[in-house]
Structures are given as C-alpha cells and as structure tokens.
Amino acid sequence: MDAFYAAVEQAAKPSLRGKPVVVGGLGPRGVVATASYEARRFGVHSAMPMAQARRRCPNAAYLTPRFGLYRRVSGLVMDLLAALSPLVEPLSLDEAFVDLEAGGVPADTEAARAVGDRLREDIRAATGLSGSVGLAGSKLLAKIASERAKPDGLVIVQPGGERELLAPLTVRTLPGIGPATAEVLRRAGLATVGAAAEAGADELLRLLGKAHGSSLYAMALGLDDRPVVAERDAKSVSVEDTYDTDLTDRARVQTEVARLAGRCVQRLREAGRSGRTVVIKVRSYDFSTLTRSETLRGPTDDPAVVRSAAARLLEGVDTTAGVRLLGVGVSGLADYTQEDLFAQAEAAAGRQADDAAEPTPEAARPPAAGPVPQTAAPRWLPGLDVLHLDHGPGWIQGSGLGRVTVRFERPGSPPGRVRTFPVDDSRLTASEPLMLAPAPHAAVRPSAPGAQPSEPATRPKSRSGGATADGSTGRSSP
C-alpha cells in the first residue's frame, strides 16, 4: 500500500484529498509515522521530528494516527492476498509477501503480471486506495521491485536481470545492512551492491566475518532462498507511550503503568492470546532505558494480574529524575490461560481494593462501534472522529482556548463544512472511525489465480519466489 496511513486519512477525509497530510505524534517529542506524497515533496519523511516537519511543510494537515481503522483496512487487503495463495507473510499492516507458486500461478512472466495487475485493481475496488506490486523469484528482489514501483505501479524482475537491478543500489538497500556495516563497507570503497559483488566473497568475509560476509555476498548476487512463511507468530505484545514532558510525580508514573497494562491486556485478548512474562520499560530523561520482567506461574490474560505484576516491577525502579517513556509488555505467549492464576488475580484485586491510589481497571475488550461514552472531558486531538447530535459524523481539525473545530464529512462524501463548538459541548462525543468507502462503480473480482483461464501450472523447483504488495509507512519492515 502506498503511503498507507496518510492515504487512509485522505480517503476518509474528502477535504484532504490531493493535499499534504502528515500522520504521527503531535506532541513536542512526536515523530512522523507517514507522510503523503504531497508532503514528501517538501522534504517530510518518516521518523523525522514533527517540529521539523511543521517547519518544512507548515500548511499540511497534521493528524493523530487511528490504528484501529488502519487495521480494518489492512484486513481487507490481506483477505485479497489470501485469495491469491495459502502462503502470505505479513510484514506490517501495509506490506506482505505472497508465494504465487503455492497459489497455482504458472511460472510465467505474463501470468504473474496478470495476477499483479488484477490484485492492484481489486485493492482499489475494495478500499479506494492504491498499492504497488513487485514480482520476482525471491523475497529480496520482490521487495526491492515493489519499492521501485511506488506509487501505484508494478515492477517485474525478469530471471537473469537480478544483478543489473541490484548493482547501482546502495548496500543499505539489502536487509540486515545497517549504518555500522555500511560504514565499514564505505571505508573499503564498497558503497554499492555492485561493488560488493565485484569485491568477492573472500574480501567480504575479511571485512564482516564469515556469517555476515557470506550473507551479503549471496544477496549482492541476487541469491535469496528465504521461503514465504505463512505464520509469523508474535513473541510478545506490548504498548508504550512517550510523554510530552518528563513525568516526575511517582503517583502519575504508577497510574500510567496501570493504564498501559490495561491496554496491553486488551491487545492480548483481541489476538486471542495470553502470556506468562510481564515486562515494563522505563526510559529516563537522559534516554537511558531499563527493563524489568517477572514470570508468572502460567499464562494469563487477566488485567488485574498483569497490572499487579507491572506495579511490583515498578517498585524497584527509581523515577525521581524524570521519565520520558513507559511501556508494559507480555511475552511467553500461549493460546490458553492457566486456571490456578484465578487465585492470584483475586489477591491482586484485593490489594487494589486496599490501595485508594490504584486506578479503576480499564475495560479489557475493544469498544463497540458508535459513540464512545465520555467519562471525563475528552482530549480533542486533530484527526480523531466525533459525532454531533445535530450535524452527524466528522473529525477534529483543531482545538484550543476552550474551543474545538470540527469538519463534518465522511468517506465518500463531498468535502464537508467546518463548525466550531465549546470543548464541553454535550452534543459532541468521540466516535469510532467510519470504514472507507469502496471505489465507485468498481466490483471486487475473485483474485484467486483460478479465476482466469491459464495453462496448467508449471511449478519451479524453488519455493522461495514471491510477490510483495508493499506500502510506504516510511519505516523499516519488521
């Protein structure tokens, strides 16, 4: 998917189509998650400090991420990929590898091209968004091809053309080559993939060691036998927040850890998982970071148990100098809960009842669609969804000085009108996002290879080939 988060926001907010949009953290320490192509023309890119992005492109719309909506749109795209092949390896919400051979696609360039073209059409029909496709005989080359296809394109790497494609690229293009390795290669005069290939295996082994050097040499030659893995089982679930100002109040730190533990359990339950090891992460004012963990007797998805373990871990951490980031995670995941943890949960609940400072546990299930009940004055962040009793659904354009400005429009509507209200207007409530409208007059066709007439499949020996439907959230794929 192309500039995925920003593209979703442009599709959901008709007044932003064709305009610069930047999605990310909006506080003083926020960074850019994704910039639309209109914003990129001003030099805005992912991981850039938000303050710098605002200086480069002051007229862009700066929006808070809406990950719930991004996951829903991603699900539509992943369903289309699953119709192509049983082997789909998601890398993130907006990017995945697909083994076309496993889906019965003939080992033929034109057959693969037809599948890629149809996939792009079906994605646009289902979501109204564009995606870019790279087709090649390996994951390495399919990924690079998809990057070259952006935005809204398709690139095929023909067999035998691997070296020609890779040669002019920088070594940082290859997976596993970070800044330190790239600097070692640069000092040796090997700044491009072609130069690394010409240097030969012996020189790369001398510079980088046996394992790293051998891997780099194979990739420089275009060799990559990694299979497409359908199940990428998560090893942990975690949440973390970075704060605009350092937290120095101990009670506030405790409250934040309890809140993060509740969010972490909610994600666990949404994934249908449980875990046995609770981890907290604390980053101090000077960027020093420490983690603490506690392993329970068995896996749990009980918020009281996780919250209690996180609180115990925090007791051994000095936070008086100031905290800029807190996180809570659960690892050692399982698909079941341990019954004997019920007693532990009851004990934790008893401790909470005795501690007046302990916050009320958050709901562990995701909210239902529609208006979100307000228990406190809402925080009106730009980009978030609202519902007004008189004007219907809209989104926050900005707030301040006791006022909140809302643009009333929805996916598929014309650009809407803007109105301003007091921040405590009882007729205005936070709301769940509306799903994107499919592209007009477009019907989604089956993407399965069997949907088009073709010759009987000729299966190549290697199962490592594939395609990648790739996005541009502006961050490295995990």
Measured CA to CA, the distance from residue 456 to residue 282 in angstroms comes to 57
Kindly report the number of other CB atoms within 10 A of residue 187's CB atom. 10
Q: Any idea how long the chain is?
A: 478
What value, to the nearest 5°, has the Cα angle with vertex 374 and ends 370 and 378? 105
Q: Which of 95, 101, 256, 409 is catalytic?
A: 95
Phi-psi domain of 18 (left: phi exceeds 0; alpha: psi -120 through 50; beta: other): left
DSSP state of 225: -
Task: Print the SS3 string covering 73-137.
Answer: HHHHHHHHHHHHCCCEEEEECCEEEECCHHHCCCCCHHHHHHHHHHHHHHHHHHHCCCCEEEEEC
* Pairing verdict, β 61-63 and 21-24: parallel
Phi, psi of 59 (to 5 degrees): -95, 5
CA atoms within 13 A on the CB side of 400: 3
Radius of gyration of the chain (CA): 25
Residue 432 designated active-site: no
Measured CA to CA, the distance from residue 23 to residue 50 in angstroms comes to 9
Q: Please give the single-letter amino acid code of residue 360.
A: T
Q: Tokens in use for 128? A: 């109204």
Chain mean position to CA 72: 12
Residue 300 β-bridge partners: 275
Annotated catalytic sites, by residue? Answer: 95
